[in-house]
Structure 1
Amino acid sequence: MRLRQISLGLTLALSIASQAHADNGQTAYDKGDYVGALAYWQPLADKGDAASQDGLGSLYALGKGVPQDYAQAIAWFAKAAGQGLPKAQFHIGFAYLRGDGVTRDRSIAIGWFRKAAAQGYQPAQSILDQMN
């Protein structure tokens, strides 16, 4: 029982540490330090951190700190969306709405927006309201 508590505590601590690094990436991004954001997010994204994967997707979609590459953006957004991150689901929906790196498809976009909105992600609900 004690070993299980220690293991759970260690898992939680590592999760918090990972989130702290992802937050550092967001702070760098918000300051316009896109290379710094990339440096924080890349190793975490490679290890499966959804927030960092979404962050990398944003860098590639916008060409911030990296060459603009919609295929890379979609690949990173898809990894994060597959883990249920609503922000990434919204980003994929937006890509389908605009045709950025994927074939433009309003129906698929709506499906992604609905997934994000179902989790309470307000920007997704707002765009759904505008689309109706």
Structure 2
Amino acid sequence: MRLRQIGLGVTLALSIAFQAHADDGQTAYDKGDYAGALAYWQPLADRGDAASQDGIGSLYALGKGVPQDYAQAIAWFAKAADQGLPKAQFHLGFAYLRGDGVTRDRNMALGWFRKAATQGYQPAQSMLDHMN
């Protein structure tokens, strides 16, 4: 039992540390330091951090600090969306709505927007309201 508590404590500490780094990436992004954001997010994204994966997807979608590459953006958004991150689900839905890196598909867009809205992500709910 004691070993399980230690393992839980280590897991919690690591998740807090990963979140702090992901937040550092967002801070860099917000300041226009896209290379800095990528440097923070890349190792976390490679280890499966959904927020960092979504951040990297945004960099590629907008061509911020990296060449614009919708295929890369979709790949990163999909990794985060499949983990249930509503912001990434919204980004993926938006890509399907516009046809950025994927075949334009209103039904796929609606599906991703619904997943995000179900989790209370307001931009997705607004998009659904606008589309209906």
Q: TM-score range by the shorter chain?
A: over 0.9
Q: Following the alignment from structure 1 to structure 2, what is the Cα–Cα distance between the partners of residues 5 and 131?
A: 48
Q: Following the alignment from structure 1 to structure 2, what is the Cα–Cα distance between the partners of residues 103 and 5?
A: 47
Q: Which residue type is aligned with residue 97 of structure 1?
A: L
Q: Which residue type is aligned with residue 86 of structure 1?
A: P
Unaligned 5+ segments in structure 1 are none
Aligned length: 132
Unaligned 5+ segments in structure 2 are none
**Equivalent in the alignment of 2:114:** 114
**Equivalent in the alignment of 1:56:** 56
Q: Following the alignment from structure 1 to structure 2, what is the Cα–Cα distance between the partners of residues 124 and 72?
A: 22
Displacement, 1:2?
A: 1.3
Q: Report Cα offsets for 1:4-59 as digits up to 9, x if no partner.
A: 11110000000000000000000000000000000000010001000000000000
Q: Which residue type is aligned with residue 124 of structure 1?
A: A
Displacement, 1:87?
A: 0.4
Q: Following the alignment from structure 2 to structure 1, what is the Cα–Cα distance between the partners of residues 104 and 4?
A: 48
**Equivalent in the alignment of 1:128:** 128
**Equivalent in the alignment of 1:35:** 35
Q: Is 1:94 the counterpart of 2:94 in the alignment?
A: yes
Please tell me the root mean square deviation across aligned C-alpha atoms, in Å.
Answer: 0.4
**Equivalent in the alignment of 2:7:** 7
> Among the aligned pairs, what percent are the same residue?
89
Q: Following the alignment from structure 1 to structure 2, what is the Cα–Cα distance between the partners of residues 70 and 2?
A: 47
Q: Report Cα offsets for 1:34-89 as digits up to 9, x if no partner.
A: 00000000010001000000000000000000000000000000000010000000
Q: Return structure 1 stretches of 4+ with deviation > 4 angstroms.
A: none
Q: Following the alignment from structure 2 to structure 1, what is the Cα–Cα distance between the partners of residues 10 and 107?
A: 43
Q: Following the alignment from structure 2 to structure 1, what is the Cα–Cα distance between the partners of residues 107 and 101?
A: 16
Q: Report Cα offsets for 1:80-109 as digits up to 9, x if no partner.
A: 001000000000000000000001111110
Q: Following the alignment from structure 2 to structure 1, what is the Cα–Cα distance between the partners of residues 28 and 14?
A: 21
